[in-house]
Amino acid sequence: MLGARLQQRNVTLALAVLAVLIVVIMVRRRRSRPAVEVSRPLEGDELIDLREAATILEVTPDRVDVMVDQGMLEPVASRRGPRFRRTEVEAVRLAGA
């Protein structure tokens, strides 16, 4: 009887450890992936920040965020916040958006 209880505790403990490991792996995977898929900068294309994009487009930075949400602009991966290709921003301005 005592052996069966010990075996059951070991199985329960092993399942608890396995559950914790699964959670740790899931959390690490989420941290390693960006929340939103963003493109990489093209070679030779100048990247500009949100404020400069807003200045070129003659809109507020909040409006630039809306343009991103609407798919009009595509942010480029950066550790310093959203960046945009100057050529893309100027193309949107010329299109009259």
In the chain, where the domains are located? 1-33, 47-95
Q: What is the mean pLDDT of the chain?
A: 77
Q: Check whether 95 has a pLDDT greater than 70.
A: yes
Q: Please state, in angstroms and rounded to a whole number, the distance separating the CA atoms of residues 23 and 31.
A: 13
DSSP count for the chain of H helices, then E strands = 4, 2
What percent of the chain has pLDDT above 70?
A: 62
Q: Please state, in angstroms and rounded to a whole number, the distance separating the CA atoms of residues 20 and 8.
A: 19
Q: What is the structure's pLDDT at 35?
A: 47
Q: Which of 7, 92, 76, 11 is nearest to 43 (CA)?
A: 76
- Using a 10 angstrom Cβ sphere, with 0-12 exposed, 13-18 middle and 19 or more buried, the burial of residue 83 is buried
**pTM value?**
0.54
- For range 7-18, the mean pLDDT: 68
